[in-house]
Amino acid sequence: MPRILLAEDDDSLRGFLARALERAGYEVLACADGDTAAAALDEVWDLLLTDIVMPGLDGIEVARQAAARHPGLRIMFITGFAAVALAAGDAAPAGAKVLSKPIHLREIVAEVERMMAA
């Protein structure tokens, strides 16, 4: 079963995302902040799905650490801050995808499925 590390500080969105991805057939570890997600990087993941702006480490730093430890890891950012999303492409690991909030859960699941198939 493909494994997703999810980092999202919004409790409701994190819960909805985790349930939607689990229903789609993924194993999901949902973290409330970047520090918790970074601590989980010792495990093997197929995808890092992270908010950019969070308490503790931001999503870009979590992604940098993840990419350094697991070259080839798929990385997807979700963010409600358009300016941050635009700048994230320069700071994010190569190949990372950025989705802007608001976005429907079905769209996120579809994007995850596309990334996992690639």
Gap between the Cα atoms of 26 and 64, Å rounded: 23
Rounded mean pLDDT, 66-89: 78
pTM, 2 dp: 0.90
- What are the residue boundaries of the structural domains of the chain, listed by start? 3-117
Question: What are the φ/ψ torsions at residue 32 (nearest 5 degrees)?
Answer: -85, -10
Helix (H) or strand (E) holding 82: helix 82-91
Per-residue pLDDT tens over the stretch 41-64: 999 999 999 999 898 999 989 999
Residue 12's pLDDT is 94
In words, the CATH class of domain 3-117 is: alpha beta
Per-residue pLDDT tens over the stretch 77-88: 988 765 555 555
Residue 98's pLDDT is 80
DSSP symbol at 93? P
Residue 26: pLDDT above 90? yes
